[in-house]
Amino acid sequence: MDLRLLGITLRQTPASEVIARLLPFTLAGFIVMVITGSLLFYAIPVKAYLTIFFRIKVAFLVLAGLNVAVFHLTVFRRIHAWDLDRLPPRAARLAGGVSLVLWAGIVIAGRMIAYNWFDKQP
């Protein structure tokens, strides 16, 4: 979805169609990640809370949510004006790019939680 917003892939397909088809999968994936993530956190709450990587990850999760909200409340509302454009407007490309960077950061930070490089002692 972000690559379509960046105008890199699926350029023949209207952006609204790409979003409509992929949204159920992204929502299902997000729900699974929040459930499994909460269980992982429940297993090591103090350790996780004290790691800088967990804090970075939560900050990125909040920013990723804000990015989605801003996208849907602004440029997405005008999607029919740019739906068939091979290169979406700057605001849509920005939303796609920010999303890719934040979600990559969430995955990397999630993996780094296991490494106690900067752990503060409780």
Contact positions toward ligand HEM, by CB under 6 A?
A: 30, 33-34, 37-38, 40-41, 44, 48, 61, 106-107, 110-111, 113-114
Shortest distance, position 28 Cβ to ligand HEM, whole Å? 12
Signed CA dihedral, 87, 1, 12, 16: sign only: negative
Q: For residues 30 and 82, which CB has a smaller minimum distance to ligand HEM in the complex?
A: 30
Shortest distance, position 64 Cβ to ligand HEM, whole Å? 8
Shortest distance, position 45 Cβ to ligand HEM, whole Å? 8
Q: For residues 20 and 114, which CB has a smaller minimum distance to ligand HEM in the complex?
A: 114
Q: For residues 88 and 96, which CB has a smaller minimum distance to ligand HEM in the complex?
A: 96
Q: For residues 13 and 38, which CB has a smaller minimum distance to ligand HEM in the complex?
A: 38
